[in-house]
A and B are shown apart, each in its own frame.
Chain A
C-alpha cells in the first residue's frame, strides 16, 4: 500500500489500537462481575460484545487503511466512552433490552478504560488530517 503512511498517522493508529485494546481487556475482565445485572441482555454479555467489537476495531485500524475501519473504530470507542460517562452520572434505568448500568463510582480499571477510549476517539478523529492517504476500501 503506497504511499506509505506518515509517522504521525502510524502513531495515531497505534494509540487508537492500544486504547481499543485496553477497552477490550477491561470489559472482558469485568464481564463476569456484571452478569447478575440483567434485563433482556445482561451487562456481562454486553461487556463481552464490547470486547469483540473493540478487538475487531483495533485490528481494522492497525492492518488496513480503510476509511470504513476508522469510522467503525470511532463508533466503537465513542459509544463506549459515551456509555461509561452516561451511566456514571445518570441513573438511566432499564432501556429497552438493556439493563440499568448506572454505577455512580470510578475505580482504577474503569477510569483507565474511559481514558483509553477517549485517547482512541481523539486518535481516530485525527485520521482525516492525514489527508489524501486516507483510503476507502475500493481505492488503490
Chain B
C-alpha cells in the first residue's frame, strides 16, 4: 500500500496562514489600542513626546477637530462674525438647531463663517452631516 505524505504537505500552508492571521490580528488590536488609549486625553492632540497640545482657539473662532467643536461652548457678543475652521478630512457644518445661523458645508481643511444672532440667548448647534456633533453658542 502506498501512503502519500499529503498530510504534511497540506498542513504547511494552513499553519503559515494561521500564524499570519494571528500576527495581523495582534497588530490590529495593538494599533487600535495605541491610537485610542482608554481614559487618555483626546487622541490626535498628542505630540510624539506624549505632551498634550491644548488648542486654544482665537477669540470668536470655532475649530472642528476629530469630529468635535473646540470650544464646545463659545460666548460672543450679539451679531459677532465667528470663523469656523475645519481641521478634519470630512466636511462639517455649524448649524443652529433653530436655524438662526448655518455655516453651510465646510469641506475638510477649509474655513467658513457664521454670524451670531443679535438676540442674546443660548443657541445649541449641530453638524448636519454628523448630527451627533453638538456645540453651544452663547450670545450675551
Contact = CB atoms under 8 A, between A and B. Distances in A.
Interface stretch (A6-14, A56-64, A78-86, A120-128): A56-64
B67 A52 contact: no
B129 interface: yes
Given A31-B32, A63-B13, A105-B91, A36 B67 contact: yes
B60 interface: no
B24 A59 contact: yes
A105 B90 contact: yes
In order of increasing CB-CB distance, the 4 nearest A-B pairs are A33-B67, A105-B91, A37-B132, A63-B17
A32 interface: yes
8 contacts: A32-B35, A32-B36, A32-B66, A35-B36, A36-B133, A44-B36, A103-B129, A109-B89
Chain A interface size range: 20 to 34
B90 A33 contact: yes
B52 interface: no
A135 B61 CA distance: 60
User: Chain A interface mostly helix, strand, loop or mixed?
Assistant: helix
B113 interface: no
Given A33-B66, A55-B28, A107-B107, A64 B17 contact: yes
Interface of A: 1, 24, 28, 31-37, 44, 48, 51-52, 55-56, 59-60, 63-64, 103-105, 107-110, 140
Interface string B51-92: 000000000000000111000000000000000000011110
A1 B9 CA distance: 9
B4 to A, nearest CB: 10
B24 A55 contact: yes
Nearest to B44: A32
A24 B90 CA distance: 18
